[in-house]
Amino acid sequence: MMSDNPNRRQSPVRHDLEKRQTAAEERRHWVRLTRRCNNRCAFCLDTGSHDGSFVSKRQINAEIIDGRRAGATRLILSGGEPTIHPSFLSFVAMGRKLGYQRVQTITNGRLFAYERFLDRAVRAGLGEVTFSIHGHDARTHDFLVGVPGAFDETIRGLRNALSNGRLIVNVDVCLNGVNIEALPRLLDGLMELGVREFDLLHIVPFGRAYEDGSSSLFYEIEEAMPSIQYALSLAKREDVHIWFNRFPPPYLEGHEHLIQDPVKLLDEVRGRREEFDCLLETGNPLSCRQPDRCRRCYIHDLCENLEATLEAVRGNSLEVYRATLGSGSNEPVPTPPCSFATSWVRAPDAATAAAAADAARLPGDTLFLELDSYANLEELLREEKLAGRRVLRAYASTVEHLEELLSLPGSFEVVAYLDKTTAPYLLQLGHQGRLVVTGRTHNRLTDAVELDPDLESFFTSLHPSVPVEGIPACICKRTPRPSPRTLDASMLRADGRLDIFGYTRRFILEHYRTKSHRCRSCSHSSNCRGAHVNWVRAHGYRALQPLTEPASRS
């Protein structure tokens, strides 16, 4: 039996999970210094914004100050090519003076071939350099970056940075059809020089890549798996750290902890904010929504869900409007953008929920309740109604909630969030006519590791008649009920229009799900969205096994 001693040595994978979680949560502030570059990369995402200019020193200084005031601890200087800005060194020094714990730059590294420039940057406070290297030799790299001789300069800069001794040094590689076959040779060559951290960026259909080079730059991952598998084998080494950026999750089965943290979707949305805002404000469709591009795009599912949400708003086909209230009963709730039959109220207590319902600040004639405390709910309920509205559901996140709600009279459903604390009690209950079990999703990977129960064992023992929502049929061993079609108020601006960042955060928590490739043969495939990405990152795809016949109905 494994010891419960908290001081025992962690497994390498568990240590890596926590390291990745810490990295994802770090407050980073990106500042673009230039709209020009001394390379011309075939896959450049910023080509549309390159006008050959430097951002003004005054504007950059203001942005550096703003990031620190907002609590950022890492300053990332980017471009274009940041090192060619005449004031690059002063920006580095300013970042350190303001208290950023680390100043980093993302660079082609060519100027660091000059040792004096590198030394001045380090003395100014530069702490980390990410080199962009895309080929194992000069022929491949120079072809991809469009500059003869660039490889030799970049490698000299990399050698200088590694030998300096005061820098964290890592390498970005854009995986594409030109370099993917030689990826093992590229990684081996860089490790021989001393590099131990790599960010492998899967090519995406934007910028110059799609405009100029789609025929040669895009590749089929299935055909490239020998190279990908080599990188995955290196990731098992304790002295090598590999990140997979924008890489489709199902191809990382067996290495699920390497799936990119879903919070990175916010960065993808931020990079295309103008188009998303145009879609939400004017209804103009995203210009990139083309079948061949979408199948290669990392945020395809987010766009699909966004368009479905907008269509549901236009068609008044959403069922539930969910609002979270604080202790103040008069706090504003965003105006719903369409009609709803039911309001889902998250509130501290029944009195706060009743006051909001009574003041007609919530739509619909029926209620779902999700309260921090259910004390006094019984005395506020009259004929199963709260402030004149019929209560259809109450959500329980603790055993205490379950005990309270199941003891109350009435026909409203009691929906239990499943985690390690509620699972044993739910198994003891057996059959309860009002009970529904729903999966709990987590924003943080480490929460999924700590709080998720053994689902396979749990559902083997759970009474087969208990309805389940939010968990694939192959795991819950029954046909799950569809979850209510819900719009959360956190997705909205005050005027009721969707906010792209509020929407994206809610998408990550509730709708970002993934399946194994083998799920294609499952009889539930057309109706199943898979498991939440953080559940898969924590527990793997192993439990997702195709069913050849429909699961039993609960």
- Asked whether the predicted pLDDT for residue 104 surpasses 80, the reply is yes
> Do 232 and 363 belong together in one domain?
no
> Do 88 and 234 belong together in one domain?
yes
Residues facing 201 on adjacent strands: 174, 245
Average pLDDT (534-550) is: 92
- Asked whether the predicted pLDDT for residue 214 surpasses 70, the reply is no
The predicted-structure confidence for 462-487, as pLDDT tens digits, reads as follows: 999 999 999 999 999 999 999 999 99
Give domain status of residue 361, yes or no.
yes
Tokens standing for 341?
């039959």
Can you tell me the distance from the alpha carbon of 159 to that of 136, in angstroms, rounded to the nearest whole number?
Answer: 15
Average pLDDT (253-281) is: 93
Average pLDDT (502-506) is: 97
Q: What is the model's pTM?
A: 0.91
Give domain status of residue 209, yes or no.
yes
Residue at token pair 């943080």: 444
Q: Are 387 and 408 in contact (CB under 8 A)?
A: no
Residues facing 531 on adjacent strands: 514
Give domain status of residue 473, yes or no.
yes
Q: How confident is the model at residue 1, as a pLDDT?
A: 26
> Do 131 and 21 belong together in one domain?
yes
> Do 353 and 455 belong together in one domain?
yes
Q: How confident is the model at residue 13, as a pLDDT?
A: 62
Find the domain containing 475 and state its range: 303-510
Q: How confident is the model at residue 11, as a pLDDT?
A: 55
Average pLDDT (338-343) is: 95
The better pLDDT of the pair 241, 208 is held by 241
Report phi then psi at 170, rounded to 5: -145, 175
Average pLDDT (165-169) is: 96
Domain boundary among 492, 510, 528: 510
> Do 114 and 216 belong together in one domain?
yes
Q: How confident is the model at residue 126, as a pLDDT?
A: 98
Q: How confident is the model at residue 411, as a pLDDT?
A: 92
Tokens standing for 306?
């966004």
> Do 91 and 188 belong together in one domain?
yes
Q: Are 472 and 546 in contact (CB under 8 A)?
A: no
Q: How confident is the model at residue 8, as a pLDDT?
A: 40
- Asked whether the predicted pLDDT for residue 377 surpasses 90, the reply is yes
Q: How confident is the model at residue 162, as a pLDDT?
A: 98
Give domain status of residue 403, yes or no.
yes
> 490 CB contacts (<8 Å, ≥6 apart)?
324, 502, 505, 506
Sign of CA dihedral 521, 527, 531, 532: positive
Here the CATH number for the domain that contains residue 20 is 3.20.20.70
> Do 146 and 234 belong together in one domain?
yes
> Do 235 and 334 belong together in one domain?
no
Domain boundary among 247, 266, 282: 247
Q: How confident is the model at residue 213, as a pLDDT?
A: 61
The predicted-structure confidence for 239-263, as pLDDT tens digits, reads as follows: 999 999 999 999 999 999 999 999 9
Q: Are 250 and 259 in contact (CB under 8 A)?
A: no
Across the chain, mean pLDDT equals 92
Can you tell me the distance from the alpha carbon of 518 to that of 183, in angstroms, rounded to the nearest whole number?
Answer: 27
Domain total of the chain = 2
- Asked whether the predicted pLDDT for residue 143 surpasses 90, the reply is yes
Q: How confident is the model at residue 6, as a pLDDT?
A: 38
> Do 366 and 499 belong together in one domain?
yes
Q: How confident is the model at residue 3, as a pLDDT?
A: 35
Q: What percent of the chain has pLDDT over 70?
A: 95
Give domain status of residue 467, yes or no.
yes
- Asked whether the predicted pLDDT for residue 9 surpasses 50, the reply is no
> Do 379 and 477 belong together in one domain?
yes
Give domain status of residue 412, yes or no.
yes
Can you tell me the distance from the alpha carbon of 130 to that of 463, in angstroms, rounded to the nearest whole number?
Answer: 54
The predicted-structure confidence for 49-100, as pLDDT tens digits, reads as follows: 788 899 999 999 999 999 999 999 999 999 999 999 999 999 999 999 999 9
Give domain status of residue 516, yes or no.
no
Residues facing 371 on adjacent strands: 347
Domain boundary among 212, 231, 247: 247
Residues facing 245 on adjacent strands: 201
In order, the DSSP letters of 219-246 are --HHHHHHHHHHHHHHHTSTT-EEEEES
Average pLDDT (147-162) is: 98
- Report the C-alpha dihedral over residues 83, 84, 89, 90, rounded to 10 degrees: -130
- Report the C-alpha dihedral over residues 153, 103, 17, 504, rounded to 10 degrees: -100
Q: How confident is the model at residue 541, as a pLDDT?
A: 97
The predicted-structure confidence for 400-443, as pLDDT tens digits, reads as follows: 999 999 999 989 999 999 999 999 999 999 788 899 999 999 99
Give domain status of residue 440, yes or no.
yes
> Do 223 and 368 belong together in one domain?
no
Average pLDDT (291-311) is: 94
> Do 241 and 310 belong together in one domain?
no
